[in-house]
Amino acid sequence: MKIKKENKTPWFKKIFIKICRLLGYEIIDQSNFYLPVSNQNINEDLSKIGKRSLTIPMGEIKITRQVKSLTIILRTCASVNMLTQSKKRIFDQEKSEYTFRSLNSIINSLNFAKELFDNVNLELIIVDHNSEKSVVDKIKLIISNQFFKSRFISLNVDDFKKDINSKNEKNEKVTFNQMSNMSNIHQSLILAKESDDLIYFVEDDYIHSIHAIKEMIFTYEKLSSMLKTELILCPSDYPYLYSEIENAKIFLGNKSHWRSIKETLCTFLTSKQMVMKYWDELTSMCKFEHYPFEKPLHNIYEKEYCLSPIPSIAIHCTNINSIFGLSPNVDWKKTWEESELK
């Protein structure tokens, strides 16, 4: 679709707009940034899920890779504060508070993008290990009476423990907490095989901005259509990306810029196609503790596009000094406060 700027007399405008509508063109009144064909202003969402991505002044990209479904798999464990560290997290709260706020921020973001799910199937799955009953009951209460389908699964580590090598890459004994983490990832991957399209694997210490889900879905459709390939999207703009000077490709997403990256943690969105393509690599994280733990993921990123947003659309609530922690130039205190359960 072409974008045509016009400056016609009022009577001609009506005729011209009708013709443009019939021909599938969009026009813009550059005096007030109004799009009369679609009856929208320039600062509104101009893209249409499954049909087009429209950014002024870049024009339209026809969506050839439509998103059919989104399965969100949230891994929770409110009984362990930090998996591999004894440091405190930003905001200095009990682990359960991060679990609740992560879940609530996802739900808030889903509600913000609710109109998208008229055409995109949605399911939220919680895979929990060893959280206290009061925490589990509260999680179940939070996900009840939502507009989307949801499930709660209690992880049984014994189902996966036999597949885990007892020694890691450093020839050290794998801790029980790490075995729990590896088992939870393994369970999540098995669930991903049951999905139809996109899967968002997310840990319970990521607080999302209100527009995070919408941005990821629209951006996935747009960039996968442009690049003609499946993608991996990470919602966080990690600080390590600014401590190392590396070449990166920059892409224009729906409302954010996205750049190619080579390292993430285990929170990312991708497609079932990618999960099946790299099944052996992904499940290797569940059987052997690499160093770094995410090494198999990083190897995949050498072959596929992994992209993260600028600025960040989710904050990883770890220690403030972590290179995978507080994303720069974002008011995360505001996002934290907005994620509080009412």
% of the chain at pLDDT higher than 90: 75
Residue entry with tokens 């994303």: 327
How many angstroms from the chain centroid is the CA of residue 330?
17
Give the pLDDT band of residue 84 (cuts 50, 70, 90): low
| Between residues 32 and 234, the one the model is more confident about | 234
Whether the predicted pLDDT of 191 surpasses 60 = yes
Q: Which has the minimum average pLDDT: 17-26, 248-257, 259-268, 333-342?
A: 17-26
Residue 156 belongs to some domain of the structure: yes
Residue 296 belongs to some domain of the structure: yes
Specify whether 299 is located in the same domain as 205: yes
Query: The domain spanning residue 206 has which CATH number?
Result: 3.90.550.10
Do residues 33 and 42 touch, judged by C-beta distance below 8 A? yes
The pLDDT score that the predictor gives to residue 18 is: 76
The DSSP secondary-structure symbol of 283 reads H
The pLDDT score that the predictor gives to residue 171 is: 97
Domain hosting 78: range is: 69-338
pLDDT tens-digit readout, 87-146: 889 999 999 999 999 999 999 999 999 999 999 999 999 999 999 999 999 999 999 989
Specify whether 215 is located in the same domain as 73: yes
Specify whether 106 is located in the same domain as 164: yes
pLDDT tens-digit readout, 271-306: 999 999 999 999 999 999 999 999 999 999 999 999
The pLDDT score that the predictor gives to residue 15 is: 78
Specify whether 260 is located in the same domain as 294: yes
Residue 53 belongs to some domain of the structure: no
Specify whether 75 is located in the same domain as 152: yes
Residue 61 belongs to some domain of the structure: no
The pLDDT score that the predictor gives to residue 37 is: 67
Specify whether 246 is located in the same domain as 314: yes
**Distance in angstroms (rounded) separating the CA atoms of residues 301 and 322:** 21
Its pTM surpasses 0.85: yes
Sign of the torsion formed by the C-alpha atoms of 151, 154, 156 and 157: positive
Query: What one-character-per-residue DSSP string does 49-107 give?
Result: TTTEEEETTTEEEE--S---EEEEEEEE-TT-S-SS--PPPTT---HHHHHHHHHHHHH
**Region 260-265 average pLDDT:** 97
**Region 149-163 average pLDDT:** 96
Specify whether 294 is located in the same domain as 148: yes
**Distance in angstroms (rounded) separating the CA atoms of residues 263 and 295:** 8
Specify whether 113 is located in the same domain as 260: yes
Whether the predicted pLDDT of 212 surpasses 80 = yes
Do residues 317 and 90 touch, judged by C-beta distance below 8 A? yes
Q: How many residues does the chain have?
A: 342
The pLDDT score that the predictor gives to residue 261 is: 97
Residue 58 belongs to some domain of the structure: no
**Distance in angstroms (rounded) separating the CA atoms of residues 172 and 31:** 67
**Distance in angstroms (rounded) separating the CA atoms of residues 314 and 328:** 11
Residue 59 belongs to some domain of the structure: no
Specify whether 103 is located in the same domain as 145: yes
Residue 56 belongs to some domain of the structure: no
Residue 57 belongs to some domain of the structure: no
Specify whether 9 is located in the same domain as 142: no
Specify whether 31 is located in the same domain as 115: no
Structural domain tally of the chain? Answer: 2
Specify whether 4 is located in the same domain as 97: no
Residue 15 CB-half CA count within 13 A = 5
Determine how β-strand 198-203 pairs with β-strand 268-271.
Answer: antiparallel
Whether the predicted pLDDT of 213 surpasses 70 = yes
